[in-house]
Amino acid sequence: MKVTIYGSGYVGLVTGVCLAEVGNDVLCMDIDAGKIGLLRQGKSPIHEPGLDELLKENIVAGRLGFTTDVEQAVRHAALQVIAVGTPPDEDGSADLSHVLAVAEGIAAHMDEYRVVVGKSTVPVGTADKVRQKMSDALQQRGMDIEFDVVSNPEFLKEGAAIEDFMKPDRIVVGADNEKAVSQLKKLYAPFSRSHGKLMVMDIRSAELTKYAANAMLATKISFMNELANLAERVGADIEQVRIGIGSDPRIGYKFIYPGCGYGGSCFPKDVRALERTAKGVEYEAELLQAVESVNNRQKRILFQKLSAYFDGKLKGKRIALWGLAFKPNTDDMREASSQVFIECALSEGAEVCVYDPVAADEARRIYGQRKGLELCDSKEEAVKGADALVIVTEWAEFRSPDFDRIKADLKNPLIFDGRNLYDPKHMQAEGIIYYAIGRGCSSVR
């Protein structure tokens, strides 16, 4: 099938590459000429395991192309997929200007039937706005051309997006016309051969499903962080509690790991947008407000533990920070807990020496030559001469470090672990003062 995808960011690029991989003729359109230039050379602007290889292979095979020409993009295919960003406005609501601009552009150039597929994360009712925008644009042209608008939200995890697309848990399609549904069934047939993964529902339910999924996962994380903070105060070990409740199949083990807060481009934005949607229909979503409040508080917990240990005297202290990305296997630092820690530490006069396997370039883009912040080339370099080690991202290379070297390199054998990577008893045996989340302290000062 021929497919056009608008937006060559995270969702658009992964979608385009994976659709091309199974044999489709895909054209990705983006207004960023610099990005399109890089993509034509087979260079991905984002870090995602497996993406670079598939990108190059499909370009060479002639199944994947890139353009900045809207007219070319519209004429390329009957399936027009919108995967542009929906950044939050100041009030937390999703900014639909890019989505609606694409819809208007499609209507301005189409001359026959098109199926407009919304893959961007958008509030309930967006499909209606897209349909109205296109109808208005067609009317201005004096044209009466049939088209359908479909909601097809993505459920990709950063760091595992290729596998998620190729082997999806579910494929949600919101549509009100069987003609459009048949096109989507044909498109996704290669991805749902083992059993029926494609779920057809009404458009508004499909739009809400995306927000509901992310809000539910964010809720589980905030709930566990709330329990972890309680566990510390009552002398319980949240890891044992996690195992105890996770064994219940109604709860399960996924997304019940406490830590120093969630981040990224989805959970924070989508929880706020869903809150805003609720307010728009005069409903107070108290649980969603609590989820966000708990998360914002949790992002400060490592700094608070560090500050308390040094009695608030952090000026001149050298702090090693392992991890910048909001999660492993990505360079995405949007709303990452690392940024909150860095700002808090620098504001108190501490020096922060940071190491992340892939997010260094993104950190340079964000911070530039920020005074007091040093980007290191290895985790060992970051630790050398530091007063304490703080861990915010659970990269695989942090899981089994050389603790003897860490003790030798640190001024104090002191670790603040925001992802509960280590066993407190092991840390105590190693002679390391270890603060985790919901597990107390492994050693007495």
What's the first-to-final CA gap in the chain, in angstroms?
Answer: 65
Q: Which two tokens stand for residue 329?
A: 């296997």
* Strand duo 79-82 + 64-67: pairing: unpaired
Q: Which residues contact 59 (CB under 8 A, 6 or more apart)?
A: 40, 42, 65
Contacts of 37 (CB under 8 A, 6+ apart): none
Alpha helices in 281-359 (DSSP H): 286-298, 301-309, 337-347
CB atoms inside a 10 Å sphere around CB 62: 9
Helix, coil or strand: residue 350: coil
CA distance 365 to 162: 26
The phi and psi torsions of 230 (rounded to 5 degrees) equal -70, -40
Eight-class DSSP state of 115: E
**Cα(254)–Cα(436) distance, integer angstroms:** 20
Catalytic residue among 18, 28, 260, 266: 266
DSSP 141-179: HT----EEEEE----PPTTSHHHHHHS-S-EEEE-S-HH
Asked if 156 and 121 count as a contact pair (C-beta separation under 8 A), the reply is no
Q: 79 φ, ψ to 5°?
A: -90, 115
Does the active-site annotation cover 28?
A: no
Residues involved in catalysis: 266
